[in-house]
Structure 1
Amino acid sequence: MTEPHRESSAARPTEDAVEGPAAEPSPDPGHFRHWRRWLVVGALLVAAGLLLFFVWTSFLPRWWAQTISRQTGGTFSGGVGWGLILGFLFTLVPLLIMGVALFRNWKYLGVRIALAVLAILLAVPNLITLSVSVAPGRANEIARTTMDVNAPWFRGATGIGAAIAGAVAIVLWILGYIRRSRGREVRRLRAELDAAD
C-alpha cells in the first residue's frame, strides 16, 4: 500500500521565504534637470551680487561724489538745496511705490516684485549717499572728502530731506488706509441696503 504523496518541505516554497533584493528605481532625469537649473540660477545670482558689490564699493562712491560736486558748484547753498531735493524725492517716490506694491491687492505676484524692484532702483541715489556717509572703505573716504569740500552740507541735507519724505509717506499711507476703509464700509452698507430691498 502506497503512502500518500507528500511534497518535501524543500520543494514547497514557504510563505515567509526571503525575497531577493528589489530593483532600485531609476533616477528621474527631470529631478536632476530641476536641480541643475536652480544651481545655474544660484551661480548667476552670486556672480551678479559680487559684480554689484565690486561696482558699489569701488566705482559708485567716487562717481557720485564727482557728479554731486559738479551739480552743486561747490557752494553751500547748492549743497543744501540739492541735498534736500534729492533726499526728499528719492525717498518719497520709492516709499509711495513700495506702499502701492504692499497694500494693493494685486492678482499677480510679479507686479509686486516689479514695483519693489522699481522702488529700490529709484532709491539708489540716496542709498549711495548713505553708503558714502557711513560705510568704511577707501573709496567712501575719498568720496566723503570730495563732498565735504565741493558739496558742503549735501550729505546732511540729504538726510533731512529723506526724514521729511519718510514722514510725508507715513501720512499718505494712513490717509490711503482710511480712504480704503471708508470705501469698504460704503460698499458694505450699499450691499446691505440692496439686500433689504
Structure 2
Amino acid sequence: MRPRRHTTDDPSLPSAHESDRTYEAGRARRPETRRGPNKWLVRALAVVGVIALAVVAYFILAAFIPRWWGQRMGHLIEGSFSRGIAWGLFFGLVCTLVPLLLLMVAAYRLVGRGHGRLSKTVGGLAAVLAVVVAVPNLMTLTIVWGAGNGAHAGQRIMDIEAPAFRGASLAGAIVAVIVTVGVWWLVFRYRKRGRDLRKVRTRAEQAPSAPPEESA
C-alpha cells in the first residue's frame, strides 16, 4: 500500500513527491524474503541419512571384516601353534600398549594442559593414531564377540589355520594394560613429586629471613 498523500500546506510535513521517493527507497533497501525448506527438516533428514549409511556399513563390515581378518591371520600363521602364540602376543601387546600410551598423551594435551593450538593438534593426532594402531585388535574382537555369519566363519578359520592366536592376543593385551598402569603410576608420582618440590621452594622463598645476630 502506497503512503497517503498529504494535502496540507504545513511546511514541516514532507511533500507528496518526497513521500513517494522515501517509499521507493525503503522498498529498494528492504531485503526480499524467500521461503525455503525448514532448516530443522533438512538437518533431520541429513541425520537420518547418516544413520542409515552407518547401519548399512556396519552390516557390510560385520560380514566382511571377521572373515577377511581370519583369512589374513590364517595365511600368516599357517596352522602353527608357535606362530599363533607369537603373533597373538605381538598384536595383543603392541596394538594395546601403543594406543593406551597415545591416549595418555592425548588426554594430557587436550585436558591436562589444554593451552595452545599446537598442544590441541598434537592431542588430536595422538587420539586418531591410537585408534588406527588398535585396528588389528578391534578386528580380532569382531571375531571373538561377533554373533553373525562373518564372525562364525572367522572363528572356524582361526580354529584351523591360526590356533592359539586369540588366547595369546588376550594375554598380550592384559600385559599391555598392566604396563600402562605402571607407566601411568610412575608419571603420576613424578609429577606429584615435582609439585611438592615447587611448593617447598615457594614456602622457603616466602618465609621471612632471620635477623642477623648482634655481636657482643
The TM tier, using the shorter chain, reads 0.7 to 0.9
Amino acid at match of 1:98: L
* Structure 2 residue 150 is matched with structure 1 residue 139: yes
* Mapped contact 1:106–1:112 kept (Cα < 8 A): no
Q: 1:63 aligns with which of 56, 64, 68?
A: 68
Q: Residues 119 and 47 (structure 1 numbering): CA distance in 2 closer, same or farther, change over 3 Å?
A: farther
Instruction: Give the equivalent residue in structure 1 for 2:25.
Output: none
Amino acid at match of 2:66: P
Instruction: Give the equivalent residue in structure 2 for 1:74.
Output: 79
Secondary structure of the residue aligned to 1:70 is helix
- 1:191 Cα deviation after fit: 2.9
Instruction: Give the equivalent residue in structure 2 for 1:21.
Output: none
Q: Residues 66 and 185 (structure 1 numbering): CA distance in 2 closer, same or farther, change over 3 Å?
A: same
Instruction: Give the equivalent residue in structure 1 for 2:113.
Output: 105
Instruction: Give the equivalent residue in structure 2 for 1:175.
Output: 186
Instruction: Give the equivalent residue in structure 1 for 2:161.
Output: 150
* Structure 2 residue 97 is matched with structure 1 residue 92: yes
> d(CA) in 1 for partners of 2:206 and 2:77?
64
> d(CA) in 2 for partners of 1:74 and 1:114?
37
- 1:75 Cα deviation after fit: 0.8
> d(CA) in 2 for partners of 1:36 and 1:188?
57
Structure 1: 5+ residue stretches without partners: 1-26
Instruction: Give the equivalent residue in structure 1 for 2:139.
Output: 128
> d(CA) in 2 for partners of 1:157 and 1:123?
16
Greater gyration radius: 2
Q: Residues 36 and 176 (structure 1 numbering): CA distance in 2 closer, same or farther, change over 3 Å?
A: farther
- 1:180 Cα deviation after fit: 1.1
- 1:56 Cα deviation after fit: 2.7
> d(CA) in 2 for partners of 1:63 and 1:173?
35
* Structure 2 residue 54 is matched with structure 1 residue 49: yes
Instruction: Give the equivalent residue in structure 2 for 1:5.
Output: none
Q: Percent identity?
A: 35
Q: Residues 37 and 93 (structure 1 numbering): CA distance in 2 closer, same or farther, change over 3 Å?
A: farther
> d(CA) in 2 for partners of 1:52 and 1:183?
49
Give the aligned length: 167
Task: Give the TM-score of the pair, scaled to structure 1.
Answer: 0.72
Q: Residues 55 and 173 (structure 1 numbering): CA distance in 2 closer, same or farther, change over 3 Å?
A: farther
Task: Give the TM-score of the pair, scaled to structure 2.
Answer: 0.67
Structure 2: 5+ residue stretches without partners: 1-32, 210-216
Secondary structure of the residue aligned to 1:59 is helix
Instruction: Give the equivalent residue in structure 1 for 2:175.
Output: 164
- 1:114 Cα deviation after fit: 4.2
